[in-house]
Amino acid sequence: MNTRTDIQIIHGRDGAPAFVVMPYADWLASRDRHESLVPNEVVNLTFDHDWTPMRAWREHLGLTQAEVAARVGISQAAYAQMENVAKPRAVTLKKIAGALGLTLEQIDF
């Protein structure tokens, strides 16, 4: 049997698992593997409303166009145009991804 012995599961008062304690290096490695994941909610917003991934992420994060535009250093109107382009330029995607705290892979799916 190959059971790991360096991970500890801490149960809550109800007996259900509540926390996992693991080596820091393992946690970092797992975080890197999941860094480019896109939440199901963002995917659903994209396809259910026919939104661009950029808009779906903004809505998911609860931000206004003005807030994202301010982070990028452009006007709200300029951001609105970027958000509605079906295939934005890579430079644009990188700027917006950085402003939203995302990777390029997360915003370009």
CATH of the domain at 69: 1.10.260.40
Least reliable range by pLDDT among 8-12, 45-49, 90-94, 97-101? 8-12
Count of domains forming the chain:
1
Please check whether residue 5 lies inside any domain of the structure: no
Is the CB of residue 73 less than 8 Å from the CB of residue 82? Answer: no
pLDDT in tens, 14-50: 998 888 898 888 877 776 665 678 999 999 999 999 9
67-75 — which CB contacts under 8 Å span 24+ positions?
68/96, 68/99, 68/100, 71/99, 71/100, 72/96, 72/99
In a domain, 74, yes or no: yes
Residue 6 lies in a domain: no
Domain enclosing residue 79, as ranges? 40-107
CA–CA gap between residue 33 and residue 23 (Å, rounded):
16
Residue 18 lies in a domain: no
For residue 68, being part of any structural domain is answered with yes
Does residue 85 fall inside a structural domain? Answer: yes
Residue 7's pLDDT is: 85
Q: Per the structure block, which two tokens stand in for 98? A: 């950085």
- Does the residue 8 lie in any domain? no
Q: Whose CA is closest to 68, among 96, 101, 102, 92?
A: 96
Residue 32: inside a domain? no
The pTM for the full model equals 0.69
